[in-house]
Structure 1
Amino acid sequence: MGKPTKDEAARMDGIKHGPCIACHQRGIASWCPEVHHLLSGSRRIGHMATVGLCSWHHRAVIQWGCTGAEMRDHYGPSLNEGSKPFHAEFGSDAVLLGYQNELLKDLQ
């Protein structure tokens, strides 16, 4: 995959300044997300196949004195805790990528 091109870097910068796509789907105001690279098998597809997720949805980071169960109840499943429940709630990688691309258009 290598170092991002100028366009790839611009995409990832845009993602970092937008909402978490999972929080956005639930109507929750979110903070600066992390860039998640979508996979094919266990390999990253590329820098253009990226979506923004908050630290909860990406890595299951528990915050604000909540328990993991409270985080799941309010924010939904974390990708880190299992892709099946995450994708059942928020959509397949293709759906997430399409959703992210639409959000990036709205930010321009």
Structure 2
Amino acid sequence: MTFRRAIGNPTKAQQAYQDQARTLGCIACKVRKNRKQPGPTEIHHRTIGDLHGQKQLGHDKVIALCSWHHRGELIGTMSSDAMRDRFGPSLARHKRDFMEWVQDVTGERSTSGLQAIQDGLIALSQNNTLTTHDIGRGLNA
């Protein structure tokens, strides 16, 4: 049996956008000004109402999250509580708190607010007003 995506494969433009987001790094870590991202960057496909199991909105409705913020993946011997204290809530493990934090930061209780911040940082990097080094330093660039 072959696995097929419900939304198909991304176009070249959509894949390029996802690659730019991935290069930027975890948007939650950037906004929280975490000094270090606690795992590799992954692409989170936004869904209707930001609800697990709902239809994905498409390959251009994505945010880059580290493995902690995306799937709640622990590092080393750190507990979930220790990870939360150090890096903030995980979308997978603490969804309500994660979404409340998103609302506090963006003014909306939706990952679309994080995508808007991500898109702004991508645009700055494309206009050469923000370098890769600056992106790595976070939003204070």
**TM-score over 0.5 for the pair:** yes
Q: Aligned equivalents of 2:81 and 2:73: distance in 1? A: 12
Shift of 1:32: 4.2
Larger displacement relative to structure 2 (48-57 or 13-22): 13-22
- For 2:24, the equivalent position in structure 1 comes to 18
Structure 1 outlier segments of 4+, above 2 Å: 29-32
Shift of 1:55: 0.3
Greater CA radius of gyration, 1 or 2?
2
Shift of 1:104: 1.4
Which residue of the other structure, out of 49, 69, 91, is the alignment partner of 1:57?
69
Matched, 1:9 2:27: no
- RMSD, aligned CA: 1.5
Q: Deviations over 1:66-91 (max 9, x none)?
A: 11111000111100014221111123
Which residue of the other structure, out of 98, 101, 104, is the alignment partner of 2:119?
101
Which residue of the other structure, out of 84, 93, 99, is the alignment partner of 1:81?
93
User: Which residue identity lines up with residue 11 of structure 1 in the other structure?
Assistant: Y
Normalising by structure 2, report the TM-score.
0.71
- For 1:46, the equivalent position in structure 2 comes to 58
Asked whether the equivalents of residues 21 and 53 of structure 1 are also in contact (C-alpha less than 8 Å), the reply is yes
Asked whether the equivalents of residues 27 and 63 of structure 2 are also in contact (C-alpha less than 8 Å), the reply is yes
Q: Secondary structure at the match of 1:25?
A: helix
Shift of 1:26: 1.1
Shift of 1:95: 0.7
How many residue pairs get matched?
Answer: 108
